[in-house]
Amino acid sequence: MKIAIIQMDIVFGDPRENMKNAAALIARAVEESAPDVVMLPELWTTGYDLERLDEITEFGAEDVRAFVKQQAVKHGIHLVAGSVANRSEAGVANTMLVYDKTGEEICSYSKAHLFRLMNEEKYLIAGESSGHFSMDGVACAGMICYDIRFPEWMRKHAVEGTEVFFVVAEWPAPRTDHWRALLQSRAIENQAFVVACNRVGSDPANTFGGHSMVISPWGEILAEADEDAAILIATIDRKQVNEIRNKITVFEDRRPSLYTK
């Protein structure tokens, strides 16, 4: 599975402009490296323009869904389309969308853990369901930014079969060391690939750290970007997941009765 991670800057509160930029970057990634999967960051259409989310977010994220579907089919790629603001009667969720190369929506996962330090709980509603999806027969799961601080959430997905975690983020630069350490830990402890896409640039409140990464189930960093906009390419082989899980039998050796409530 060849993956192209689009580590992009985001225009604050301007979905039209961001879709235009994303289309150009997706076309470039496809032309330069013919990937199977292309990935975008968290809230890539709006950024963290939380105060205006109601105004700039459509019901059911309809326009964005149509755009993502069209891009996936046009380029014949699986598109892990980051996350987008997604309005329903209940409020606005931060929802990760994945479309396969036939244009089918295979994942719609809303961020389960809202990040109080950036006031998310004041403007967003939390998701209540898991991030599982299957891509070309590979068991995958979506995670969004702050979710990676919850090892029990990712462990639950791994126990249920996840081989590849796709993590989308707007992770601020002052905590890049946490980002790198948490991603690497989640890969090692779950013996799963972690494919992580962060944004770069700034908004009125934060500067974002980049360092998108692809990490193997052994914890090796297979590819890593720096703080600049980039298209990061890596190829992963799901066979490695079982090799590592058979070598160190973490899943067989768990004692959940000792440590779950």
| Residues with catalytic function | 42, 111, 145
Of residues 153 through 182, those in contact with ligand AKG by CB under 6 A are: 170-172, 175, 178
Cα distance between residue 77 and residue 72, in whole Å: 5
Residue 35 tokens, joined: 């990937």
Residue 108 · residue 81 · CB < 8 Å: no
Distance of closest approach, residue 124 Cβ to ligand AKG, in angstroms: 10
Nearer to ligand AKG, 101 or 178 (CB): 178
Among 44, 115, 133, 166, binds ligand AKG (CB under 6 A): 115
Q: In the set 93, 118, 200, 225, which binds ligand AKG (CB under 6 A)?
A: 118
CB of 203 to ligand AKG, least distance (A): 11
Name the minimum Å distance from CB 148 to ligand AKG: 8
Of 64 and 118, which CB lies nearer to ligand AKG in the complex structure?
A: 118
Which residue, among 5, 55, 36, has the nearest Cα to 200 in the 3D structure? 5
Q: Which residue's CB is nearer to ligand AKG, number 1 or number 197?
A: 197
Q: Minimum CB separation from ligand AKG for residue 207, in Å?
A: 12
The torsion region of residue 115 among left (phi > 0), alpha (psi -120 to 50) and beta comes to: beta
Is there a contact between 225 and 211 (Cβ–Cβ < 8 Å)?
A: yes
As measured in angstroms, the least distance from the Cβ of 186 to ligand AKG is: 13
Choose, by CB under 6 A, the member of 16, 28, 52, 149 that binds ligand AKG. Answer: 149
User: Among 146, 165, 166, 193, which residue sits at the site for ligand AKG (rule: CB under 6 A)?
Assistant: 146
Binder of ligand AKG out of 50, 53, 97, 145 (CB under 6 A): 145
Query: With binding defined as CB under 6 A, does residue 49 bind ligand AKG?
Result: no
The residue among 28 and 149 lying less far from ligand AKG, judged by its C-beta, is 149
Nearer residue to ligand AKG within complex by CB, 100 or 203: 203
- CA gap 223, 240 in Å, rounded: 16
Provide the binding-site residues for ligand AKG, judged by CB under 6 A: 115, 118, 145-146, 149, 170-172, 175, 178
